[in-house]
Amino acid sequence: MQIDTEAKSGLAAPATTGLAIEGWKGDFHPTLDGRALALKAHERSRSLAIATDKDSFVLGTAWYLRKFDRQGKQIWSTSVPDVAWGVNISSDGRFVVATLGDGTVRWYTFEKGEEVLALFVDRDLRRWVAWKNLDTDWH
């Protein structure tokens, strides 16, 4: 099987520039415009995705996904079962996608941070399981 490396997937890397966010990659004290973002003591920031309109951003940490507005005010936080090593915002702005240290990929609503879907693929790439959160009202 040959992989077409020229094919366009429609996927994009998370935006990490456009707002003055510093110290977000592996640090305990991330800042926006030089002001500290509110995290718990010993909570390490691991990933960042800035919204296309630059009005907000999502920070993935050791314990939470946190959405902030462009002034650094927290809009929501959602606990995660393991480190959020990667975060991204869907191109339509409806979801935050997080890759977690437990081996799952999880989808959360961008508006409220509610988990809607999770996927785990076994390392043999032959077995997988996905589950949906039936308590979340999303469309």
pTM over 0.95: no
Q: What CA–CA distance (Å, rounded) separates 101 from 95?
A: 19
Number of domains observed in the structure of the chain: 1
Q: What is the pLDDT of residues 80-108, one digit of tens each?
A: 999 999 999 999 999 999 999 999 999 99
| pLDDT confidence of residue 95 | 96
Residue 62 lies inside a defined structural domain of this protein: yes
Please give the pLDDT value at position 84. Answer: 97
- Mean pLDDT over all residues of the chain? 90
Q: Which domain holds residue 74?
A: 21-132
Q: Tell which wins on pLDDT, 49 or 2.
A: 49
Residue 78's DSSP bridge partners are 65
DSSP strands (E only) in 5-103 = 21-22, 31-32, 35-36, 45-50, 56-61, 64-69, 74-79, 84-89, 95-100
Q: Domain with 35 in it: what CATH number?
A: 2.130.10.10
Q: For the segment 28-78, what is each residue's pLDDT rounded down to a tens digit? A: 999 999 999 999 999 999 999 999 999 999 999 999 999 999 999 999 999
137 within domain boundaries? no
29, 40 in Cβ contact below 8 A?
no
